[in-house]
A = this chain, B = another copy of it.
């Protein structure tokens, strides 16, 4: 009964029981269709080849790649030989990419063709990398200053197609890692264990969460370098799901075409992607009737987006919540059976929340005076614990601030309703503490953004001698409305929804709000700009 939970065994299951099912993969040059039988054999060759180029147990195998079948093979080959898959966010700054590769001590880097130039530029600063592998369909290696440089397909040819997956693995051994950007300072590394990823895959297959099934056709839009594309490639392979990998630099048009052409049933990504897809679907003529779930996470989906998908397009939309530290699935939004007779509006409100805890995890929400009441109002920081929740940052002093007595302090401020559904109201560091009470910047932002003239709104805290902090809203207007809406009008618009002391002390108009590499507001920088505006000194 003590056989370990291992990632290799998931691929073995797919090879045996889903040999004929397919992975459809778009690369730079063409569309590939490979069965799990073929993917399994290629993964075995890859494990064997990794060994030949010197990768050993525990070594980190870095990837700089889009969503495609070769990246999927690496998902299983690295942990399958008891090495560690390290997916690198290619959208980070070169300095951060250098830091991450050196900090993880990656031994080899697998790089997509179009990402080679990025690594060539920083090659001299990499301290641990001993080999580079380019993932390309072309026969010839591209011109490159990287040495030694291997071709992925040539390497595979040298590998043993019957190479076994390593089975004497401690399930707590590291299987993967991923760095998450920090508000200040360098990215922080999170390590995933075999155990965590296998259990997380079970969680994705549950009827009450994503219900990933053999009969699904899954297209992960969330990048494979972003928390393992939310773990879906692992779960989908295990369960024999057809996978459609949209490849490099996809457009909303390609996504829409793939949904139509390959009869995609489930797809996962962030709200920004779905906004783009929505526009494409509204303009074009696509058959999306195969879609049973658009899974949305990463940040909160506006209600309008959910409504547009469900009511205009008839596409079911599901909200989930997680983070790099949580592998990521932590909560999933789903109406309970006894909530089916709520009004459409009530249902939408409920489903726009981040949802309730996935079986297998534990949560606590800690407010000013201990655990908050589950009344949908009291705010507190969300703490998580469980077999796929990290308990440290990899070799990083910042562990002490985010992991306390086994609990991950997420930094997300939430309310919990009486059904156990959480709703994110802020980041701890973005909460505004006014007169000893908390004001949620996110709630103010959502209210302001509901105004037709507003394109974006971000609310930050300004130091205040009397109240400690006061909210100030920063607004970008739609082009058509530039200079046609003023501060008073926006304040009047939101006034009915809030207590008087919640209302922003000022509203400033901006051309643009600074953002992170993953499209989130860079509030720290915005705060500096606002402070400069008011000539505040701290």
Instruction: List residues of A whose CB falls within 8 A of some B CB.
Output: 1-3, 5, 9-10, 12-13, 16-18, 20-21, 172, 193, 195-196, 198-199, 202-203, 205-208, 211-215, 238-240, 242, 334, 336-338, 356-357, 359-360, 362, 385-391, 406, 419-420
Contacts and interface: CB of A to CB of B under 8 A. Distances in A.
B359 A239 contact: yes
Contact of A196 (B1, B10, B334): B1
Instruction: Give the number of copies in the complex.
Output: 2
Counting from the closest, the 5 A-B pairs by CB-CB distance are: A202-B202, A207-B211, A215-B337, A207-B213, A17-B420
Contacts of A206: 202, 205-207, 239
Contact of A359 (B1, B205, B208, B387): B205
A17 B172 contact: no
Nearest to A213: B207
22 contacts: A1-B386, A1-B391, A2-B387, A2-B391, A3-B385, A3-B386, A3-B389, A3-B406, A10-B359, A13-B357, A199-B202, A202-B359, A202-B360, A205-B205, A205-B208, A205-B359, A207-B207, A207-B213, A208-B215, A214-B334, A215-B337, A242-B337
A87 B214 CA distance: 35
A206 to B, nearest CB: 4
Contact of A390 (B1, B13, B213, B336): B1
Contact of A362 (B9, B338, B360, B391): B9
A420 to B, nearest CB: 4
A179 B42 CA distance: 45
Contacts of A21: 336, 338
A445 B466 CA distance: 89
Contacts of A203: 202
Given A206-B207, A207-B205, A359-B238, A387 B337 contact: no
Given A207-B206, A362-B9, A391-B1, A356 B213 contact: no
A387 B420 contact: no
Which of A172, A337, A356, A359: most chain B CB closer than 10 A? A359
Given A17-B356, A202-B206, A359-B205, A1 B387 contact: yes
A214 B389 contact: no
Nearest to A9: B362
A357 B208 CA distance: 22
A10 B361 CA distance: 10
A388 B215 contact: no
Contacts of A406: 3
A69 to B, nearest CB: 20
Contact of A211 (B211, B240, B338): B211
Contacts of A1: 172, 193, 195-196, 386-391
A191 to B, nearest CB: 8
A208 B213 contact: yes
A294 to B, nearest CB: 17
A365 to B, nearest CB: 12
Contacts of A360: 5, 198, 202
A337 to B, nearest CB: 4
A24 to B, nearest CB: 14
Nearest to A356: B17
Contacts of A239: 206-208, 359
